Amino acid sequence: MDIPTTPTDNNGLPSSETQTNRRRRKKSIVWEYFTIETVGAGSTKAFCKQCKRSFAYITGSKLAGTSHLKRHIALGICPVSRQKNQMTSFTPGSNTAATDPPKRRSRANSGYARVSFDQDRCNHDIAKMIIMHGYPLHIAEQLGFINFVQTLQPQFNLVSWNTVQNECVGIYLREKQNLLNLISGIPGKVSLTVDLWTSNQNLGYVFLTGHFIDDHWNLYRQILNVVMVPSPDSGDTFSQAILTCLSDWHLEGRLFTLTLDQSLSNETIIGNLKGLLSVKNPHMLNSQLLLRNCYARVLSSLACDVLVAMRETIAKVRESVKFVKTSESHEEKFVQLKQQLQVPSTKNLSVDDLTKWDTTYHMLVAACELREVFACLDTYDPDYNINILLEEWKQVETLCTYLKLLFDAANIVTAPVYPSANVFFQEVSRIQMELMHAAMSVDPFVSYLMRPLYEKFDKYWENCCLVLAVAVIMDPRYKMKIVELEFNRIYGENAETWIRIIDDGIHELFLDYMMQMLTLPETPMDEGNDSIIKTEAPEEASQEGSLLSSVDGLQDFELYISDITGGPQMKSELDQYLEEAFTDRVEDFDVLVWWRLNRMKYPTLSRMASDILSISVSTVASDSVFDTEIKRMDSYRTSLGPATLEALICAKDWLKYGSFPQPPAL
């Protein structure tokens, strides 16, 4: 809008006569809804006749125009005008506003004029926001939030704490039903991880996470329950929490493995859970599919142990890094000295977070690369007086070598997508072998530092090697040969005994799956056998190293198979798979895709593979892999009721992945 030259008063502002003339000349329909009033020297505002809200119109020599006034009426921002539904002449596309059409149609006018305000939708989105970002439920009652929302939409009605809570629980129940439908449709079993959080009130919160593969060979990792337990040290507490989970999700008879948080590994708890697993999964390797320790927590425990062993030297390094990073002048001198010495390091110094051991590792690595600068820093900056000896730097360097081993191993489970179980055997066996060699090192410092770590990790290895070996055998790139190779490296002349245990274990597991796939008394003689056996040379079933306490049923089954096939001249799917050529080891190989493509060839073995590959060796979330402390529930969450707390935590986990796909119709 062009502004003509007008007379001004002594202050250079438009005179009152001029402003009166301007108001008189206004022909736009907008002035049927607004009045103009002078509110101060050089300031004139437009007031809505309906809601009395004020808007800038003239400030000094600047004229604000009328576009914002039109939007106030046309978009329904004015609540009184919306109720009366009067401003139809400003609806986009209408030709009735020809009296004073806007120069340019805004995107807001063209897209949202017909969208009506929906209070229920707003309530739902607020609840979803609270769930996704962990905001407190009472945020909707806080003044800052209310002011912000009402600025965007004055029609928004305030919502109470109870309303938000009910909406959050409603979202949880809807998502739970979707997930329940998905789990009910999967062909295989579900593995559970059990993690424990604590609170300042000495309450325990058991996190139960389900791991499974659906019919399309997609791997899922979803929190199923968060159960508050008043006595975390009680022997049957965790058994009851697991039974609650099995009941809630209709998993009776479908539990495959249990993986425990390291803090739960006392003998009473282990005994109770072994008994539970024997009842709920009676044939699976005599309860040996119970992993007593979380992979990530074991690595964190080892890292903490070795950091404590060198705490005095590490404290010197930490203070040196703090000296540089907490003062701009000190850091400037440090950088200048680094340039003079031409130290080629590309690492950036940072002070570590004592609750995350990987930050200490990164701090030590960076400091080691810059140790020449630290060694000369006292002559360049007289304020620096920390003396780190050359021998101490060498020890830190040795420490970093073994911390890198743990860091690389832990990094596997930090990815957003949790890896399938086949990837862990090589990492765990490598740590076992490296720590074993370090414990026997001729270097007294290395053996002193690493022997306690090896003794602790060896217990973990003995507990998990069966499960991890069975999982890597399900990788067609490695099969049984990788187990033989690693066991020969670790056990030497005793390797054959361990290899036989693994071989017997996987064959017994496969026989159990065959029993599940067949209804023995009703199976016709000429049906259902092509998918199980193929003609090859006979192979004797192992009678040594059996992991099952009750083998009579399996012996009867083998006799039955021999009878219906005309003698022991057939080869099982498992033996056929093990003897076929290896799949090429390509960088982008996906073991789940391979089994999806080969499930018709190996119908029974593929069912077993789906359960095995979904086993989780770690109980913690990806953002907690490097934690040095057990997770604690904050005071706000502990103030919530158990049902509300479970709803918020589970729904947050589920909403990360969007809507769960529904199983195909039967």
pLDDT of residue 378 exceeding 80:
yes
Strands 62-63 and 54-59: antiparallel
Per-residue pLDDT, averaged over 213-224, amounts to: 94
Residue 666: pLDDT band with limits 50, 70, 90:
very low
* Closest to 533 in 3D by CA, of 560, 551, 503: 560
| pLDDT value, residue 266 | 63
Cα Rg, the chain, nearest whole Å: 35
Contacts by 72-79 with C-beta closer than 8 Å and gap 24+? 72/48, 73/30, 73/33, 73/48, 74/109, 74/113, 75/108, 75/109, 75/112, 75/113, 76/113, 76/116, 76/117, 76/155, 77/154, 78/33, 78/48, 78/50, 78/51, 78/53, 79/51, 79/154, 79/155
Is residue 42 within 8 Å of residue 30, measured between CB atoms? no
Per-residue pLDDT, averaged over 72-92, amounts to: 52
* Closest to 191 in 3D by CA, of 296, 281, 308: 281
In whole angstroms, what is the distance from residue 317 CA to residue 396 CA? 9
Annotate 614-648 with b (16+ C-beta within 10 A) or e (fewer). bbbbbbbbeebbbbbeeeebeeebbebeeebbbbb
pTM for the model stands at 0.74
Q: Where are the domains of the chain?
A: 30-75, 119-285+634-665, 293-418+619-627, 421-517+588-615
Nearest 5°: the CA angle 597, 599, 600 is 100
Q: What is the mean pLDDT of the chain?
A: 81
pLDDT of residue 440 exceeding 80:
yes
| pLDDT 10s digits, 177-206 | 999 999 999 999 999 999 989 888 888 899
480 vs 587 pLDDT, higher one:
480
Concatenating the DSSP letter of every residue in 57-104 gives: EEETTEE--SHHHHHHHHTS-SHHHHHHT--GGGSTT-STTTTS--SS
Residue 86: pLDDT band with limits 50, 70, 90:
very low
| pLDDT 10s digits, 120-131 | 888 999 999 999
Is residue 218 within 8 Å of residue 621, measured between CB atoms? no
| pLDDT value, residue 556 | 54
Measuring CA to CA, how many Å separate 309 from each of 298, 303, 313, 364, 447?
A: 17, 10, 9, 15, 12
In whole angstroms, what is the distance from residue 451 CA to residue 441 CA? 9
| pLDDT 10s digits, 646-663 | 999 999 999 987 666 655
Phi/psi at 614 (5° precision)? -90, 0
In whole angstroms, what is the distance from residue 617 CA to residue 589 CA? 21
pLDDT of residue 398 exceeding 90:
yes
Per-residue pLDDT, averaged over 12-36, amounts to: 59
| pLDDT value, residue 499 | 94
Residue 601: pLDDT band with limits 50, 70, 90:
very high
Residues in the chain: 666
Residue 260: pLDDT band with limits 50, 70, 90:
confident
Per-residue pLDDT, averaged over 19-42, amounts to: 67
